Amino acid sequence: MTAGAVTTAAVWAGVALIGGVGSVLRFVVDRAVARRVAESFPFGTLVVNISGAALLGFLGGLVLSKEAALLAGTAFVGAYTTFSTWMLETQRLGEERQVRAAVANIVVSIVLGEAAALLAQSIAERL
């Protein structure tokens, strides 16, 4: 095996391992929030996605190697955050005729996610 192949294999193994950690953490955070907030609004997913946006913004403000960015950003944060669950929960709110909550989930997630990413990126750039 060449050095490049070993590096590629190590990166793929890292993606699998770190992605697994991110997805487990997403589950833990979502459940912890859901236990504390007994509402039909998906606060657990909101907390996960906003904190993930902040983390990704922070990582984007750092100078990382291509491999480090892949492992931290794509593997960990990509597995931690969840667009599909956000959309499914929004669609279910609509089905349940909770249109205000569905619209609020979209607007709040986008506005807070963008603000969190920009703020965290700004902080990282100052380090």
Residues contributing to the annotated binding site for Na(+): 78, 81
Question: By the 8 A CB rule, do 43 and 86 touch?
Answer: no
Distance CA 69, CA 19 (A): 13
Annotated binding site: 78, 81
> Residue 26 has which token pair?
């997403």
- DSSP sequence for 45-105: HHHHHHHHHHHHHHHHHS---HHHHIIIIIIIIHHHS-HHHHHHHHHHHHHTT-HHHHHHH
Can you tell me the distance from the alpha carbon of 89 to that of 92, in angstroms, rounded to the nearest whole number?
5
